[in-house]
Structure 1
Amino acid sequence: MTDHPGDRRSPGRPFDAVLCDVDNVIRHFDSAHLEALERAAGLAEGTTKKVAFSPEVDGPLMLGHITEQEWVAAVAEGLTGLVEDQETAWSLGTALLESPFHADETVVALLRRARTRVPLVLVSNATTGLEADLAAMGLTDLADDVVSSARVGLAKPDPRILQLAAARAGVRPERCLFVDDTEENVEAAAALGMRAVHYREPADLERELAPLFR
């Protein structure tokens, strides 16, 4: 963890560190191209994601056991029978992998402000490409540390990855604010005593961070 002036415990604060998810909180994907390919292939929109993010296909990628290209191959295999040929299946898997993304600047600004007061650790179920993706968004310096599932071999909602993130922040779990868009991850954090927030929109984060600046 990087030392900075905000890394000081205060008995008046509601929490002493922020643990934040990446995808669907900080980073958002544009699925327009994928959805166009699905329509052309006669698939319902979202079919590729349903196959790709099923536990048996997505799990090995998130734990760093397979590469992104091996994941695309697994997605293509899962689409077999749903589309006319393997070329179409591969095109859909590749389009998902290469979906463009952007950072939510409102969320980024809120997190940068929070980091002036407390440590910030990103906790993501992600591929080994996460660090490069953060760099592409200009967010290499956003957090004090990044805990990526593919790097540590643990994935949310496993409480061990949350405990690891708290340790990286130098704070006890019960003194962490945890922000995530997935309910089961939020429930896992709450079970550890964290102040857990089910994120839906930037206002949720802004509301929870407000006590830091009073």
Structure 2
Amino acid sequence: MKKLKNVDFLLFDLGNVIINIDYSFTINELTKRLPKEKHSLTSEFFPAKFHKDYEKGLISTVEFREAIKNHFQEPWEDNEIDYLWNSLLKDIPNDRIDLIKKLSEHYGLAVLSNTNELHIEAINILLKKQFGVSSLHDIFDEVYFSHELQLAKPDPNIYQKVSELLATPPTNILFFDDLKDNIESAKNLGYQTHHVTHPQALISYFENVQH
């Protein structure tokens, strides 16, 4: 594999870049459990302030579960809430992990994800089941989560922070994300970027740069 010029670190988002996610599946699961008059509440779930606060580590998992119960006014048990919240997490395609392993021969590899404690616990279980590894730390050199940094994309401060933590100038970091706002914010700070728009985007990107 030919190394890209002026790229020291590859920085990957998680959702729909490394792991497939499906928000509509979670909405459907919520809808199945709610009476019809509460169905409209599902559209407010992912944009909710308590979600953003949890993503930034501003509230605990216990507080997050309580906020969900309050939002839907449902007496759900913790395991039910955890199932619903994590149900958007799907599979991690083998070819993406194979690619990451090949790329590790030429680049530093890092993750930057807007995520939360419950999702990371679920992803670790998935990684163990699929690939026999305990966490993303076994695959990537550095792993940065919004709830640990208390910053979230597309805030420019998170990209500045990651550049500092990697001890690498933004111009030498190539960032992959599926959301245009996240890409634009990183680009404005000087990052090299690639917008992931389909399931084979990572694979095809590195195939194309070889030619």
**TM-score normalized by the length of structure 1:** 0.76
Distance across 2 between alignment mates of 1:91 and 1:132: 13
| Deviation at residue 130 of structure 1 after TM alignment | 5.6
Q: Which amino acid aligns with 2:47?
A: S
Distance across 1 between alignment mates of 2:98 and 2:200: 12
Distance across 2 between alignment mates of 1:106 and 1:45: 37
Match of 1:58 among 48, 51, 56: 51
1:87 aligns with 2:79: no
- Residue number in structure 1 paired with 2:105: 116
2:75 match: secondary structure: helix
- Residue number in structure 1 paired with 2:130: none
Q: Which amino acid aligns with 2:95?
A: T
Moved more, 71-80 or 86-95: 86-95
1:150 match: secondary structure: helix
Identity fraction in percent: 23
| Deviation at residue 201 of structure 1 after TM alignment | 2.4
Which ranges in structure 1 are unaligned for 5 or more consecutive residues? 1-9, 81-85
- Residue number in structure 2 paired with 1:77: 70
Match of 1:184 among 174, 181, 187: 181
- Residue number in structure 2 paired with 1:3: none
Alignment length, in residue pairs? 198
- Residue number in structure 2 paired with 1:103: 92
Task: Name the Cα RMSD after superposition.
Answer: 3.1
Question: Kindly tell me: are residues 130 and 168 of structure 1, through their superposed partners in 2, closer, same or farther at Cα, counting changes over 3 Å?
Answer: farther
Question: Kindly tell me: are residues 38 and 153 of structure 1, through their superposed partners in 2, closer, same or farther at Cα, counting changes over 3 Å?
Answer: same
Superposed CA offset, 1:10-44 (max 9, x none): 8x615221110012221234665762451353379
1:146 match: secondary structure: strand
Distance across 2 between alignment mates of 1:47 and 1:91: 20
Conserved? CA contact 1:16–1:119, under 8 Å: yes
Conserved? CA contact 1:17–1:119, under 8 Å: yes
| Deviation at residue 147 of structure 1 after TM alignment | 0.7
2:161 match: secondary structure: helix
Match of 2:139 among 119, 139, 142: 142
Question: Kindly tell me: are residues 169 and 113 of structure 1, through their superposed partners in 2, closer, same or farther at Cα, counting changes over 3 Å?
Answer: farther
1:68 aligns with 2:56: no
Match of 2:7 among 7, 15, 31: 15
| Deviation at residue 143 of structure 1 after TM alignment | 0.5
Which ranges in structure 2 are unaligned for 5 or more consecutive residues? 128-132
Say which structure is richer in helix.
Answer: 2
1:26 aligns with 2:26: no
Q: Which amino acid aligns with 1:78?
A: H
Superposed CA offset, 1:38-93 (max 9, x none): 13533798953x3332151212101111122322221232224xxxxx23698874
Question: Kindly tell me: are residues 163 and 95 of structure 1, through their superposed partners in 2, closer, same or farther at Cα, counting changes over 3 Å?
Answer: same
Distance across 2 between alignment mates of 1:43 and 1:79: 11
2:144 match: secondary structure: strand
Distance across 1 between alignment mates of 2:151 and 2:117: 13
Q: Which amino acid aligns with 2:165?
A: R
| Deviation at residue 111 of structure 1 after TM alignment | 1.9
| Deviation at residue 153 of structure 1 after TM alignment | 1.1
Question: Kindly tell me: are residues 193 and 211 of structure 1, through their superposed partners in 2, closer, same or farther at Cα, counting changes over 3 Å?
Answer: farther
Moved more, 96-105 or 168-177: 96-105
Q: Which amino acid aligns with 1:53?
A: F
Question: Kindly tell me: are residues 78 and 18 of structure 1, through their superposed partners in 2, closer, same or farther at Cα, counting changes over 3 Å?
Answer: same
1:102 match: secondary structure: coil
